[in-house]
Chains A and B, each alone.
Chain A
Amino acid sequence: MKGTKLFVTCLLMVISTALFAQNITVKGVVTDADTGEGIPFASIQLKGTLSGTATDADGNYSITVPRNAVLVFSSIGYVTQEVAVDGKAQHNVMLATDAENLAETIVVAFGTTTKEAFTGSAAVMKSEEISKRSTTNIANALVGQVAGLQMRGASGAPGAGSGSMNIRGIASMYADTDPLIIVDGAPYPANLSNIPQSDIESISVLKDAASAALYGARGAAGVIIITTKKSRSQDAIVNFEAKVGVNSRSMQDYETITDPGEYYEAYYAQLYNQYYYGQGMAAADANVKANSRMISDLGYQVYTVPSGQQIIGLDGKLNPSATLGYAIPYNGETYWLQPDNWKEMAYKNALRQEYNLSINGGGPKSSFYASLGYLNEDGIIEYSGYERLSARLKADYQVKKWLKVGGNVGFTHSNRTSNPNMGTSLGSTNLMYYTTQIAPIYPVFVRVLENGVPVIRTDEHGNEQYDYGVAGADYPVNRAFLQTGNPLGSNRYNQAYQGGNQLNGTFTVDVDITRFLRANVTSTVTWGQTNYSNYDNALYGPKVSVNGELSKEESTSFRTNNIQTLTYYDTFGSHNVNVMLGHEYYLTRSRDLSATARGIFTPEILEINAAANKVTSSSYNSSYNVEGYFLSAQYNYAQKYYVSGSFRRDASSRFAKDHRWGNFWSAGAAWIMSKENFLSGATWIDQLKLKASIGQQGNDGIGGWNYIELYSLSPSSTYQMAPAFSALGNPNITWETTTNMNIGAEFSFFKGRLSGSVDFYNKLATDQLFWLSVPEHAGARGYYGNMGDIQNLGVEIVLNGTLIRTKVVDWSVSVNASTNKTKILSLPESKLVDPENGYYGFTESSQWLKIGGPLYNAFRAVYAGTNDEGEALYWVDDSLNGKTNVPGKNFDSTTTNPNVATKYELGSLLPKVFGGFGTNFRAGGFDLSLTFDYQLGGKVYDTRYAGFMSPCADAGDAGSTFHKDWVRSWSVNNTSSEIPRWQYGDQYTTAASDRWLTSASYLNFQSFTCGYTFPKNLIPGISKLRIFASGENLWFWSARKGLDPRYSYTGNTTVAVYSPVRTISGGIQLTF
């Protein structure tokens, strides 16, 4: 407090000193004539001299000049303007945009810059583009729009977090590779669904060192900066937008058997083949045995056949007299088995509504932006949905001429109804997997015959009974498929929800210490609270005997980020200098408290207090702390030659005390060639810029306490905890370092008709936070060390072309493409399997990772077709003598046993080219835009197809449906087939091999929007009226129907219940 007082006093003294100057001090703000926004770093020159100054980041300036001077205001992208001082101390200047040379302002680390002055590589998405999308999580709008950005495993669940993102390749082999997300200046690890897209002014994706190094510590995988809106105008503007639409399932299914008869035929065929061909039984015997084994394996018979007849006849076809439905008398009731369509019952079309209201305005000294938003998104799965209420207030005020304060407070309340079957594993808690995997013979409900009519069985309260497949409890027979599970039933009677509150406050103080020195203090506090409640019902399923189970969890996180910067900026003739010194301190602390109880009094009181038996309780907290000091400098000469540099020193609490600090830096340069005289003749060139940058950033993304040996506590007696060994530690681990080089060009030709950029990058991640495996007889599988180097090399091209540009019609097309090549430069020696014999690599997750090789280098057995018996064959390199941990080279012989099959390195699974394209069309008031994203090349392991193509090895495999391709299997009549024989008991028909590596290319029709803007002032009081329709995730093409290569780089071993959901909505935008 005392410090503040002293500080303000000092500042007042600074101001008063200035009054004694001889000349007049002119002050003011330079704004964009269209938007009213301050223009940062605009040049103000005293006419006829070389002296002058520049505006600050918000467009304010101050210059001391003779009373009769003329000032020249200029900025890239604006028409230059001259203003006579005339003895007045205040001159606010509005600059008109220069349509032919539009300079974009982009938000970069700790400030903004113009696109021209920027020496780094970044992609920017502005509110105009963002507003065309209907995403709940803004990250989904980046795919295909930002060259070099890839996202995997995105979920379409209402309110879900983002998928995992990679910018410019794979930044690290074992540490996190997700980019750092910054919202309004502070790191933001929370769910981006908490920020309504209508509140977002811009998103900058910083890709290279020059742009991201100032976030040195955690910027190695790129930085995404999200900036919320502020007032754009001094006149009050009221915006209202309403969107109403429909969500539907966009996921495509594999072509599996959906008809119960066909399914029995397929199941029967494999058994018959075993008995007839495998065991040499007579055809009639094999038929009888296969029929009975089929029902005993599957548990459920859903066809009734005349007594003495078989379900499947000798011809392998369903008995023509078979009728659907089968009665079983049990315990005095007649149970009735008939299949249901699980998928149809699981998914529905759902309503999505979004309303946003914003008001902005301000005066000469202040600006004000307030917004209110409401989103209600019903899920395409029953009992799932997301509701969000958000409010934001952002304001700033020029308290004194030298003091400006700002505040930005956002609050989000959300409510997510979920269900317990949203797992991503291939198991019974994944509704999507469950409903697409289950054989088409199984019912959803338990049915009984009442007066000869099948009805769903109900309990005394009238609740419908779902079939969990448990014999006795449900039907009198066991279901073979994922017994004890029924995701539809769990959804119906279980209740799961998640409530969230997030309060976010950013406070800024800017102090102009002198004409050329400014201090800024920005502090952000984010408080997040999430409460989970999960009720497992007492009616059906596993919690019946304990009368229901209730779990509650409360977690809160409190994050603070404090930044202090001191900026020096000055202009000496054509020399412009800007130097910033700063300090950042980030601390996050989260607490968690949970309890579980059983014996629920009534589902109407889902609180622990109304439960009889408290089973568990837990609480814990965790913290993470990063601190950094940084320095950055920008210099330009005549806005033609730009140089920038930065240095940052960071400490992370994830490393031991002595290895905590890391140094990061960057250097960049840009040359605006088009301003050179030798190009002045080329009038078709609007702008041509060359740029280069290099720098180092860090990565600490491995979780806490890997630097020390860890023990896990468990009770050894009623009142005693005991620590058992759990993990090794390495006290020497420190920052992983990424050296990032970028060379690029940006251009605009033919009066902006063709513009774009080309970037080449070379990223070297050195001293990787490498998972060093140890032989497991150590008691652990490994620990982290700083070893191993990898390289990402790539090219990004962005092109925008305007095909038609007239007063009435505008049509432009944009396309971007990126390539990325990975290479392992070095590996820790301990990892190398057999360097003596030339194997400089190791195998992990079915990849062969070797020095000089790519990441994601597939390492699989190679399928060699079928043998004379129709069994699957796999290649063997005889020289390896059965070794399966090094890659083979020769294809010498074949084997039917994949355990001894040689594995071969099959090349990188990563796509060769990826990106997006889109088009914008406008004719009069009508507008249309479309966006697509794509990926070419690369492979993905189609785990699910392999599963669908697998005959049963034993009864334990029964109950899953099959792919229709089974009919093309090898048989005595079809010996040329590449698909092995369809025979029960064959363990290795679909063993892991390159047979399942499938092209990962895809094309996704991501979004469209078309709208009509009514002529201005058509309705008095309304300045803008637009109606529109838009859609997301419209159609998807991949190598195999049902295969979505966007789940992961390696394969679909896990699948999200919610693959991205198709949304089609209509809406209205009103501006007063």
Chain B
Amino acid sequence: MKKIKYIVIAVVSVVLLATGCIQEIDPQTSTVTITQAANAPGAYDNFVDAITGQLTGQFTYNGNSSSTPWDFGYPSFYLQRDVMGQDMVCETAGSEWYGTWYGCGTGLGPQYAVCQVPWTYYYKWIKNCNNVINMYLAAPTEDHEVGAGIAYAMRAMFYMDLARMFCPSTYAVDKNAITVPIITEETQLEDLTSNPRATNEVMWAQILSDLDKAEGFLNGYNRPDKYVPDQSVVYGLKARAYLTMEDWANAQKYAKMAQSGYTMMSRDQYLSMTDGFNTPNSSWMFAMTYKPDDPNIIYNDADSCWGSQMIIEVSESGCGYSSNYVGPKRIDYHLFSTIPDSDFRKMCWVDWDIDDLGSKDAKIEALSAYSTSPAGLYNTGTTVSGSGILGGMPVKFRPKGGEHSDQYAAFTVAVPIMRVEEMMLIEAEAAGMQNEANGVALLTAFAQTRDPQFNYADATYDNYGGKQTKFQNACWWQRRVELWGEGFATYDIKRLRKGVIRSYPGTNHPESYRWNTTEPPQWMTLCIVQTETNYNSACEQNPTPIKPSADSPEYTW
């Protein structure tokens, strides 16, 4: 009897164990554990690729949701920064997603989600850099040096952006003004709860030190495409850094070094209706690209991407915020009116004169000088856009391959991060700040490639409240025209201590947004999201910008 019982218990135990033993389960999808990532073939290089691979295309802020059409990566910050100034004009009726930045909206306050956007993006990007640097330092082998170089270069680039967006003052004015908290490969999680914002002095030293390392590691690196940085990009980043620091000698030196191997965009390249500002060419030093199966392209009718905001020649597709829902972000009327007709860059924006032509047919005929879809452009300007006019519409950023009806294809474009033209302008400005005649010569040489009739004496040097010389204003004007839409407006206004002028006779800024200031507006110094200051006790806050209560009196030039 007893024996039987034991056997029975044994049998039951066998059945028990037959279905037993908890399993090790690893993710089987596009989210992986660090262990899986580290064990994957080519792990180190994969981590390096991720640094630049996710600059665009992903809904990094909102996860997989496409409900916020500004959630499309690095180029979105171009627009956030450019609409805060005066050179880019937003429509106000309809779903203008950049209204918060253009109109000093409540969302800029630290209690709002929009305020969190740069924080979420940049520090995730920085974390990817820190990971690679950590991996390199743990086992510093020669074949890992390029990866480390890319990580250092990109980290420097990200911190330069953050410093310029969040610091109330530039390095040259106040070395002790505070930027953002620094996190490097050495920072421990427990240090973060009391990590103060670094001063300009500390921050820019950190940036330069990273760039020095990157310069060394990337020496001789021959990159596969322009979507990853090489040594010339590091020179370019150094030129930007020294320009901001107003270390003119170094700015000139590195801007010059960076230009090696590149040539300026020609008139044809600049105005190409198929490839204009959507494909890397000989002038592009560094870029990023949307890919056909990026979430930004696939979801929400591709309405949540760069193209939806800046590529306006897709009326036929029925989609795209700029072409079909809200209307395009236009050039400031005053800036446009200062571009001579002989400057070919003027063809990047539709001339206001076309609105004065009598018939619809005449207008469409005139628009065919700007686009292979003049009727679509006409519809966008006159019907879609609240202002109902054609003047000032941008055609700088072209739909891919000139495609007008399939926005998915049209928006799968590359976007420049650095062009040789910017380097030439840095070189000219930096040279001129040391010896004006040298600068004028360089600037003239540059400008004459755009406008053969350029004559320095007749250059535009609107001052916007700054205290610069005619020369520096002339350089700034070139930058405004040459680099329009590429994310430099806020940086330059803060660097040059300019005001903003949106209210003047004939302005195309809409009512209730016509604000003039005599110094860089408060809203260009972004607030830090409150959750950061809540959990990082050492992090000071910037003041919440207050929207001007009324339009300013018109400024007379």
Contact = CB atoms under 8 A, between A and B. Distances in A.
A274 B67 CA distance: 32
Contacts of A726: 31, 124
Interface string A147-182: 000000000000000000000000000000000000
A724 B25 contact: no
Interface stretch (B7-15, B429-437, B452-460): B7-15
B95 A723 contact: no
Given A472-B383, A708-B35, A777 B536 contact: yes
Interface string B267-300: 0000000000000000000000001111000100
Contact of B53 (A6, A11, A715, A956): A715
Given A296-B93, A484-B325, A708-B33, A562 B19 contact: yes
A722 to B, nearest CB: 4
B25 A519 contact: no
A587 B21 CA distance: 11
A713 B183 contact: no
A351 B15 CA distance: 50
Interface string B391-416: 00000000000000111100000000
Given A775-B536, A776-B529, A884-B111, A956 B96 contact: yes
B465 interface: no
A545 B317 contact: yes
B384 A615 contact: no
B192 A653 contact: no
A473 to B, nearest CB: 6
A742 B47 CA distance: 53
B7 A775 contact: no
Interface string B77-121: 000000000000000111110010001001001010000100110
A409 B257 CA distance: 77
Interface stretch (B125-133, B474-482, B490-498): B125-133
A811 interface: no
Contact of A623 (B23, B67, B119): B23
Interface stretch (B136-144, B329-337, B539-547): B539-547
Interface string B357-385: 00000000000000000000001000110
A17 interface: yes
Contact of A830 (B4, B46, B193, B293): B193
Contact of B386 (A17, A296, A519, A616): A296
A705 B34 CA distance: 11
A627 B536 contact: no
A655 to B, nearest CB: 10
A626 B21 CA distance: 9
Interface in A640-693: 651-653, 657, 660
Nearest to A477: B383
Nearest to A3: B14
Given A296-B386, A545-B318, A566-B12, A776 B116 contact: yes
A470 B325 CA distance: 6
A778 B189 contact: yes
Contacts of A776: 116, 119-120, 123, 529, 531-532
Contacts of B48: 722
Nearest to B197: A777
Given A627-B21, A713-B32, A954-B99, A478 B11 contact: no
A472 B34 contact: no
A17 B25 contact: no
Interface in A288-320: 296-297, 299
Given A472-B379, A564-B16, A724-B124, A622 B546 contact: no
B260 interface: no
A652 B406 CA distance: 48
A521 interface: yes
A297, A477, A543, A777 — most chain B CB neighbours (10 Å) = A777
A722 B32 CA distance: 11
Contacts of A470: 318, 324-325, 384
B123 A777 contact: yes
Contacts, number: 289
A721 B31 CA distance: 11
Contacts of A777: 119, 123, 180-181, 183, 192, 195, 532, 536
Nearest to A842: B534
A587 B22 CA distance: 9
Interface in B190-246: 192-193, 195
A650 B32 CA distance: 26
Contacts of A585: 19-20
Contact of B530 (A521, A660, A885, A897): A885
Interface residues of B, number: 106
Contacts of A660: 22
A336 B57 CA distance: 41
B301 interface: yes
A519 B11 CA distance: 11
Nearest to A779: B127
Nearest to B124: A779
A603 interface: no
Majority secondary structure, A binding face: mixed
A566 B28 CA distance: 37
B27 interface: yes
A320 B455 CA distance: 63
Contact of B535 (A14, A616, A709, A830): A830
A723 B534 contact: no
Contacts of B294: 714
A985 interface: yes
A606 interface: no
Given A722-B50, A775-B539, A777-B192, A480 B93 contact: yes
Nearest to A958: B93
Interface in A533-564: 541-546, 560, 562, 564
A994 B4 CA distance: 73
A724 B54 contact: yes
Contact of B22 (A476, A651, A843, A954): A651
A621 interface: yes
A616, A834, A958 — most chain B CB neighbours (10 Å) = A616
A751 interface: no
A781 B93 CA distance: 34
A834 B120 CA distance: 24
Contacts of B37: 711, 723
Nearest to A712: B31
A17 B2 CA distance: 11
A706 to B, nearest CB: 11
A716 B23 contact: no
Interface in B25-58: 25, 27-35, 37, 40, 42, 46-54, 57-58
A709 B50 CA distance: 15
Given A296-B386, A724-B53, A775-B192, A620 B11 contact: no
Interface string A557-576: 00010101010000000000
A463 interface: no
Given A710-B33, A713-B30, A483 B318 contact: no
Given A729-B33, A779-B127, 11 more contacts: A7-B8, A476-B383, A710-B33, A711-B37, A713-B31, A714-B30, A714-B53, A724-B53, A775-B181, A779-B124, A955-B94
Question: A-B pairs with the 5 shortest C-beta distances?
Answer: A779-B127, A716-B53, A716-B49, A620-B29, A775-B536
26 contacts: A3-B14, A7-B11, A11-B8, A14-B4, A17-B4, A296-B93, A470-B324, A478-B386, A513-B5, A523-B19, A542-B319, A546-B408, A704-B25, A712-B30, A714-B50, A717-B49, A720-B42, A720-B49, A724-B124, A774-B189, A774-B192, A777-B195, A778-B127, A781-B120, A955-B94, A955-B386
Interface of A: 3, 6-7, 10-11, 13-14, 17, 279, 296-297, 299, 425, 427, 470-473, 476-478, 480, 483-484, 513-514, 519, 521, 523, 541-546, 560, 562, 564, 566, 583, 585, 587, 596, 598, 615-616, 620-627, 651-653, 657, 660, 704-705, 708-717, 720-726, 728-729, 773-781, 830-831, 833-834, 842-843, 884-885, 897, 899-900, 954-956, 958, 985, 987-988
